[in-house]
Structure 1
Amino acid sequence: MEIRAEVGAGDPRGDADAILARLDRIPVWTLPRSYLAIIGVGYFFTFFDIADIGYAMPAIATEFALSGSEALFVALALGLVGYVAGSIVIGAIADRVGRYRTLIVTLTLTALGSFLDATATGIVSLSLWRFVTGFGVGADLNLVSTYIGELAPAGKRGRISNLTFLVGILGQALTPFIALALVPNYPWGWRALFVIGGLIATIGVLARFHLPESPRWLALHGRLAEADAVVRRMEQGAAARGIALPPPQPTAVSTERHAFPFRALLRPPYGARLALLAAMWFCWYIGNYGFLGDAATLIAAQGFAVGSSLLFLGVGALGYPLGALLMALVADRIERRMLIFASTVVWLVGMLLIGLNSNEAVLILGSFVASLALGLYLQVAYTYTAELFPTRARSSGFALSDGIGHTGGALGALALPGLIGATSFFTGFLGIGLTGLLAGLIALAGPRTSGRRLEEVSS
């Protein structure tokens, strides 16, 4: 059923056009900078959680008497299944009920899931709680990129998204050090790791109550007075900073929306974009989750102690924030699809270095280069994904692209140990390096987005 926004006797599309024209003329972020930090805290937990299971798994496998890649895969992959389900289900809900309310729900779910992870008594309960955690994490990752993209100015969208991501990626950079202090030294260390994640997520939930709703979503859904209030606040922020705003230049903005947001993705050009992005993320996540989920265990299997393998990855993880910072400097200066491709080249180099397994220094260097690539790639690719879909189905489009792509993550978590067992350590890491490079090549086929209004890109 098609629905159109209506307000009073006026033309709702014209009103929406005017509000979005006013929004798009604001050249910088004029809402409180604390909002970016609040979003960053939630992001911090997301990446803390993505990393902590990989660092906890060696100790979990010992305590629960797990053996072989299949048992480890169950514990890891069910979190990914939850991730995909949460992203798709809550992504569709966010297109119907709004970004703000669902951002509260998603982080609440992740906090609950992380606390429950710490109570696991075996493979069944661990898998169940990892599903719950993944359900919230997948949806939250989707919504953060959608939300920031809809508030940020076109010319600064990449930079602002990456600066927010920089706060979040610190979670992935700090996780190995926290894990190193806890997991090898205490039998309950892995449980404490999950409790810490739950506490971080709880702080993020409480802080998010201060955030505004996306004015783009509000305008689309006919809540024009609320959209006007948010944009007016942003205009006042610009005036307070001495920024003279140019006259708004309204352009036609579709107010069409559907009871079932996925319907919009069946129309050109969105179907082709969905296929391209799903393929890109599928190839990327094969190596991403193979590395994050299995690397600590696989390196330990090469004869290094668990603590040593965590240390190698922990020192290397300093590359995460550096990559995010570097990308923030160039995200709006170079076309995003080119930046995605360049990041995957760096990834391949990191995988080759790890695969050499020649000595401790090379392992650390390889881990650093791989982490640098992750910091470079992730947010620019998230931003690019959200940009390619219309507001009426932006969260749903991101969810399907990223959700389908995550099946590659499950494949990578399962296949990497098996590939190494059947061939060699080097061949395994070469394989996930090449799948990452393939993701970059696929991205080159996408449309140009840098510096363009969302409605222009997604029309």
Structure 2
Amino acid sequence: MQHANALNRLNRLPVSRFHKITLLAVSFAYFFEFADINSFSTTSPKLIKLWGTTVNQVAYVTSLSFVGMFLGSVVAGAIADRWGRKRALMWTTVWFGVFSLAAVFSWDIWSLGVFRVLTSAGLSAMTVVAVIYVNELYPAASRGKYQAYAIVIGICGTPVTSLIASAVVDINSWTWRLVYLWGALGILLVLFTRQLKESPRWHESRGRHEKADEILREIEARVIAEKGPLPEPAPPIEEAPAGKAPLRMLLQKKYLFPTLLLTVVWVTQTIGFFGYSTWAPTLLAKEGFSVEKSVFYVALTTVGAPLGSYLAALVTDRFERKWCLVGFGVVIAVCGLLYGLTFNPILIVVFGFSVNLFERGYTALGYAYSPELFDTRARSLGTGVSYGLGRLSNAAGPLIVAALYNNSGYQSVFLFIAGTWMVGAVVLAIFGPRTRQAALKPEPDTVGV
């Protein structure tokens, strides 16, 4: 067999039970990724009282966690190319589950910090692999919508975990550990192993056309049994096997621009969002709110997160993703700034709710947008490196936040956060390519600004 024609065969499939099971599995992984990613921020106010942890120590642990995220993102691209999308998704999820479980047994802030760095590496790696997996399995016309649907379900992990934390963290001196035990349940993704299929696009990119065809036939048989006969796919596009993608490949002209653009997108998103979500409970507690109230207020704001992902699902395949990202970024900047200008509990919840709503929508749009800027050969590497550099940038973010808070006060933190969102929106508006319903082609699409 010369060519399995995976791209066109997948694109002409109607959404079926196969797609829904895949969506459920990815959503499960996302759920515990979002559940686990804010575990430290929800428990740090308790640790400040219990262990005498300082704001600067919280900043150091948070910063190092983002170094872990960077390493996980870069490694994710390599293992997704070497092992395949499905296996990489499984192993990265197991990794973060195991080290979240280890965090339950932390004995001081530094042991917890080590476990959080290792957990964060797995969280970020899983995200990169999941983004690629969804983008390669779903039809081009609906992949943005289903990427957002996965996050709609997955993002529920944030408010659920925040509410669990608000209920258990302050009960006694050990119940904060339950938050990390909860995050470790992501390891149960292994229950979906037999239900998931490897990406035929990945097999095809490795020159394994017979294996790609075998998987495609299995998928098509399921879809035909459920939906009836399928239309003929478009003719295949010939391409050579992708081979190994070295890091220096991203310096080539056709890959350098999207890598730099997406790095700006993920740097501003990371500093902007995590500057808010990581620090909100701690800063509210430092400003006089009780630990219980600060965690509870933030928990209420995170209820907006699933709605934001659903909003992204409604707009992502109807409007140009670039302009959706720009609009969402501007709204987040405004709401985040207003959040920092009030100490009224109702307004804190209202503006915090809005930040979570539009930021999670922004993230869902970004997950759909990022892989579309690369061809098959560079997709894992380009997505992983740009996403990872975004996470690495926040190694400095918490230190900046701590310095601003200590030297200029609470409101200066939110001025800084609003500014980062505006930078991202402006760069996307000027330089961002259009990608709506662009096919995931073996060679880069010609996209206009």
Cα separation, 1, equivalents of 2:226 and 2:202: 26
Aligned residue in 2 for 1:455: 441
Matched, 1:274 2:249: no
Aligned residue in 2 for 1:133: 119
Describe the superposition over 1:79-115 as per-residue Cα deviations: whole angstroms up to 9, x where unpaired: 2111111111132121122111111110111111101
Q: 2:372 aligns with which of 361, 369, 387?
A: 387
Cα separation, 1, equivalents of 2:81 and 2:247: 10
* Structural mapping, 1:390-401, within 5 Å: 390-401=375-386
Q: In the superposition, relative to structure 1, how do residues 306 and 50 fare at CA in structure 2: closer, same or farther (>3 Å)?
A: same
Cα separation, 1, equivalents of 2:318 and 2:222: 25
Alignment RMSD (CA, Å): 1.8
Matched, 1:38 2:25: yes
**How far is 1:362 from its partner?**
0.7
Aligned residue in 1 for 2:186: 201
Opposite residue 315 of structure 2, the aligned amino acid is: V
**How far is 1:457 from its partner?**
7.5
TM-score normalised to the size of structure 1? 0.92
**How far is 1:233 from its partner?**
3.0
Opposite residue 334 of structure 2, the aligned amino acid is: V
Contact 1:29/1:152, CA 8 A, preserved across alignment: no
Q: 2:135 aligns with which of 149, 154, 168?
A: 149
Contact 2:66/2:393, CA 8 A, preserved across alignment: no
Aligned residue in 1 for 2:316: 331
Cα separation, 2, equivalents of 1:91 and 1:437: 29
Describe the superposition over 1:113-160 as per-residue Cα deviations: whole angstroms up to 9, x where unpaired: 101111111122112111110111110010000000000100001111
Matched, 1:66 2:62: no
Describe the superposition over 1:28-54 as per-residue Cα deviations: whole angstroms up to 9, x where unpaired: 355252221111111111111111111
Opposite residue 399 of structure 1, the aligned amino acid is: G
* Structural mapping, 1:218-367, within 5 Å: 218-242=203-227, 245-367=230-352
Opposite residue 339 of structure 2, the aligned amino acid is: I
* Structural mapping, 1:404-415, within 5 Å: 404-415=389-400
Q: In the superposition, relative to structure 1, how do residues 457 and 344 fare at CA in structure 2: closer, same or farther (>3 Å)?
A: farther
Q: In the superposition, relative to structure 1, how do residues 456 and 395 fare at CA in structure 2: closer, same or farther (>3 Å)?
A: closer
Aligned residue in 2 for 1:160: 146
Aligned residue in 1 for 2:198: 213
Secondary structure in structure 2 of the residue aligned to 1:455: coil
Aligned residue in 2 for 1:376: 361
Cα separation, 1, equivalents of 2:286 and 2:52: 16
Q: In the superposition, relative to structure 1, how do residues 156 and 32 fare at CA in structure 2: closer, same or farther (>3 Å)?
A: closer
Q: In the superposition, relative to structure 1, how do residues 333 and 244 fare at CA in structure 2: closer, same or farther (>3 Å)?
A: farther
Contact 1:31/1:233, CA 8 A, preserved across alignment: no
**How far is 1:391 from its partner?**
1.7
Contact 1:29/1:153, CA 8 A, preserved across alignment: no
Opposite residue 285 of structure 1, the aligned amino acid is: T
Opposite residue 223 of structure 1, the aligned amino acid is: R
Cα separation, 1, equivalents of 2:263 and 2:166: 35
Opposite residue 53 of structure 1, the aligned amino acid is: F
Task: Tell me whether 270-279 or 437-446 shows the greater mean CA deviation.
Answer: 437-446
Work out the number of aligned pairs and report it: 444
**How far is 1:393 from its partner?**
2.5
* Unmatched 5+ stretches in structure 2: none
Q: 2:164 aligns with which of 178, 199, 216?
A: 178
Cα separation, 1, equivalents of 2:264 and 2:239: 28
Cα separation, 2, equivalents of 1:456 and 1:254: 7
Cα separation, 2, equivalents of 1:90 and 1:19: 23
Contact 1:337/1:443, CA 8 A, preserved across alignment: yes
Opposite residue 355 of structure 1, the aligned amino acid is: G
Contact 1:253/1:455, CA 8 A, preserved across alignment: no
* Structural mapping, 1:83-122, within 5 Å: 83-122=69-108
Cα separation, 2, equivalents of 1:53 and 1:261: 34
Cα separation, 1, equivalents of 2:16 and 2:252: 33
Contact 1:336/1:450, CA 8 A, preserved across alignment: yes
Matched, 1:433 2:418: yes
* Unmatched 5+ stretches in structure 1: 1-9
Aligned residue in 2 for 1:48: 35
Cα separation, 2, equivalents of 1:352 and 1:286: 14
